[in-house]
Structure 1
Amino acid sequence: MPSLSVRRALGAAATGALTAHLIATTLFNTPDSFNLDLRRYVGGWTIPGWRFFAPNPGVQNVHLLVRTGAGETPAAPTQWQDVTPTIGHHVLNIVFHPRSRGPKALFDAMQQLSVMKSNYSRFDFITSSTAYELVADAGRGLLPPGASDKFQFLLVNYFPSAPAEQRVQPILVSEWEHVHPGVRT
């Protein structure tokens, strides 16, 4: 049996190692300015790196709005209507949530259009993309009953934590699309 002083020394060493590991883990999961400096001092020790929301955490919600109108260039379109799908949450969704895939695919497509727009892609390039077609089809499927022959969709970013006058920022307004794509008017 080790003596009391040996046990205290081992306990102090273990406490010190655990404290150093927790501090290193905390620093390693902060912005990259700390990461490069820290790697020199750990001597090969593996430090867990978690990036739950990195490198850019989401700070906005993307919404899909639609409006309808009749004719080649609708003279009196309807008001914009938010048709963004909502996902109900339940405690079992942590394990199994198959209904989240459709809204997630739509969200990813809307994000792709946001990226294209922010990178100054040409409008004809955007409208010929798969993401545009997916969002147009989703908007078409989410139109209110009895919609006229044409519709437009609008993507907006909503920043809940921004000042009131800066919360809503338009991203992209689509061309006028046919409600029934096989029918040309």
Structure 2
Amino acid sequence: MRPDGRGLVSTAVTGALAAWFGVTVLSQHPHQVFDRFRRYDLTGLVIANWRFFAPEPAQHDFHVLHRVLAADGVQTPWSETTRIPRRRLRQALWFPDRRQDKAMFDVCNELIVYLARKDFDITATAAYQVLRDAVELAVRGEHAATPKGFQFVIARATGYDETTEPEYLLVSKFVPLEEAA
């Protein structure tokens, strides 16, 4: 040990960092018993909560489809509002669009939870309004003239397994559109 005390400080800092690293690694374990360390972190920032594996990984994809009632009264067939692209190798390093996909997944998942409630107005929820607005934005972007309105549906599919038919979970009412000011 050095007479000026730097060895003691260096050892203490190294020990504290090693303990912090160990607690952070243990806190990532899927078993909830390891979450007890996190209750001492009052800010929620010191001990990270990054799970290496999701406790319940997603086993399906949500697809949002829409159809439009054109200004001339013709109804279009259903078309995909959101598309799940095939993954590319570069997306392992750079995939900023994944945040948008995840947000849409979370919105649809929240709506499915609301569907289980009886006597509940799902159209008043923020999730429904976000989804409706996202579909409206897509509809306005793909049509030169403002259509009379649109309707959308949430379908749940098993991903790339095309042997299973999709399950239609929510069909919206007709949403009228007005000319943008």
Q: Is TM more than 0.5 here? A: yes
- Distance in 2 between the 1:163 and 1:141 partners? 29
Q: Identify the residue that residue 79 of structure 1 maps to in structure 2.
A: 77
**Offset, 1:91:** 4.5
1:52 aligns with 2:53: yes
Q: In the superposition, relative to structure 1, how do residues 121 and 63 fare at CA in structure 2: closer, same or farther (>3 Å)?
A: farther
Q: In the superposition, relative to structure 1, how do residues 92 and 51 fare at CA in structure 2: closer, same or farther (>3 Å)?
A: closer
Give the conservation status (yes or no) of the 8 Å contact 1:87–1:103.
Answer: no
2:54 is aligned with what amino acid?
Answer: F
Q: Identify the residue that residue 128 of structure 1 maps to in structure 2.
A: 124
1:62 is aligned with what amino acid?
Answer: F
Identity %: 23
1:66 aligns with 2:66: yes
How many residue pairs are counted as aligned between the two chains? 132
Q: Report the TM-score when normalising by structure 1.
A: 0.56
User: Deviations along 1:88-137, whole A, 9 cap, x unmatched?
Assistant: 745554455333222321221111111211x234452x101110011111
**Offset, 1:175:** 1.6
- Distance in 2 between the 1:161 and 1:116 partners? 26
- What is the DSSP-based 3-state SS (H/G/I as helix, E as strand, rest coil) of the residue aligned with 1:59? coil
Q: Report the TM-score when normalising by structure 2.
A: 0.57
Report which of the two structures shows the higher radius of gyration computed on alpha carbons. 1
Q: Identify the residue that residue 138 of structure 2 maps to in structure 1.
A: 142
Correspondences of 1:31-180 after superposition (within 5 Å): 52-54=53-55, 56-69=56-69, 77-87=75-85, 89-91=87-89, 93-117=91-115, 119-122=116-119, 124=121, 126-143=122-139, 144-146=142-144, 148-160=147-159, 164=163, 166-180=164-178
1:145 is aligned with what amino acid?
Answer: H
Give the conservation status (yes or no) of the 8 Å contact 2:110–2:127.
Answer: yes
Give the conservation status (yes or no) of the 8 Å contact 1:156–1:169.
Answer: yes
> What runs of 5+ residues in structure 2 fail to find an aligned partner?
1-28, 34-50
- Distance in 2 between the 1:93 and 1:59 partners? 20
- Distance in 2 between the 1:77 and 1:176 partners? 12
Correspondences of 1:14-25 after superposition (within 5 Å): none
**Offset, 1:142:** 1.6
1:152 is aligned with what amino acid?
Answer: Q
- Distance in 1 between the 2:85 and 2:160 partners? 21
Give the root-mean-square deviation of aligned CA atoms.
3.4
